[in-house]
């Protein structure tokens, strides 16, 4: 496998062994062997075991299409969420869990995760 960018963050894997990470330029990269595929403008993401990507974009959602719709690209199947509400996303099995801009879990009361 080719090397991962040393300035990358949030390294994740799916069940097929693909590597996903964010680089310093806000690109989500899926690395499969020596091939790399990217999705620009990402703030945060989570990848499920099946390889589905849940992303929070840096840019206004209207520039990327509709929210809460699944899209397909070279990086894989992805859905994205509002960047003015969610600042982070993690996956619990196949379900996304969001952290809001105030570092509190969305839908779990006032639980702070800082």
Dump pLDDT digits (tens) for 31-78.
Answer: 988 899 999 889 999 999 899 999 988 865 545 556 678 889 899 999
Q: Is the pTM of this model over 0.85?
A: no
In 3D, which of 14, 25, 32, 35 has the Cα closest to residue 78? Answer: 14
Asked whether residue 14 is assigned to any structural domain, the reply reads yes
Beta strand pairing call for 19-22 and 95-100: unpaired
In this prediction, residues 9-20 reach a mean pLDDT of: 89
Domain assignment present for 61 = yes
Specify if 111 maps to a domain.
no
| Tokens read off for 22 | 């964010």
Phi, psi dihedrals of residue 27, rounded to the nearest 5°: -100, 130
pLDDT band at 3; cut points 50, 70, 90: low
The beta-strand segments (E) located in 1-114 are 9-13, 19-22, 28-32, 35-39, 42-47, 53-57, 71-73, 76-81, 86-92, 95-100
Is residue 1 scored above 90 in pLDDT?
Answer: no
- The whole-angstrom distance between residue 80's C-alpha and the CA centroid of its chain comes to 8
The pLDDT assigned to 37 comes to 93
How high does pLDDT run on average in the chain?
A: 83
Q: What is the pLDDT of residue 4?
A: 57
Residue 77 lies in a domain: yes
pLDDT at 19 over 90: yes
User: Containing domain of residue 49, as a range?
Assistant: 9-100
Count: domains in the chain: 1
Looking at the predicted structure, is the pLDDT value of residue 85 above 90?
no
Q: Are the C-beta atoms of 2 and 30 separated by less than 8 Å?
A: no
Domain-embedded: residue 15: yes
**Helix (H, G, I), strand (E, B), or coil: what is residue 71?**
strand
Report angle CA 69, 114, 4 to the nearest 5 degrees: 60
Task: Tell me, yes or no, whether 109 lies in a domain.
Answer: no
């Amino acid at each position: 496998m080719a090397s991962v960018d040393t300035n990358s963050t949030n390294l994740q894997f799916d069940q097929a062994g693909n590597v996903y990470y964010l680089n310093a330029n806000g690109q989500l990269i899926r690395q499969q062997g020596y091939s790399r595929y990217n999705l620009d403008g990402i703030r945060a993401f989570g990848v499920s075991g099946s390889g589905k990507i849940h992303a929070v974009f840096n840019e206004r959602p209207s520039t990327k299409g509709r929210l809460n719709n699944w899209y397909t690209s070279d990086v894989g199947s992805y859905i994205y969420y509002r960047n003015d509400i969610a600042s982070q996303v993690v996956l619990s099995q196949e379900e996304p869990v969001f952290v809001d801009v105030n570092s509190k879990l969305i839908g779990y009361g006032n639980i702070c995760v800082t």
